[in-house]
Amino acid sequence: MSKESIENKEDARVLAMQQVIRKLRHDDLNEGHCFMIFDDELPEGQAYYEYPDGSVRVEQLDKLNLDIPRMVISELNKDEIASLKEKHEVFR
- Specify the pLDDT at position 27: 97
Q: Which domain holds residue 28?
A: 3-91
Report, as an integer, the average pLDDT of 57-78.
Answer: 92
78-86 contacts at long range (C-beta below 8 A, 24 or more positions apart): 80/56, 81/54, 81/55, 81/56, 84/37, 84/48, 84/56
> CA-to-CA distance for 62 and 17, rounded, in angstroms?
27
**How many domains does the chain contain in total?**
1
Strands of the 35-37 sheet, one edge to the other: 35-37, 46-50, 56-60, 71-75
Q: What is the pTM of this model?
A: 0.80
Contacts of 4 (CB under 8 A, 6+ apart): none
The percent of residues above 70 in pLDDT, for the chain, comes to 92
71-75 and 35-37 as β-strands: parallel, antiparallel, unpaired? Answer: unpaired
Strand-pairing partners, residue 58, are 48, 74
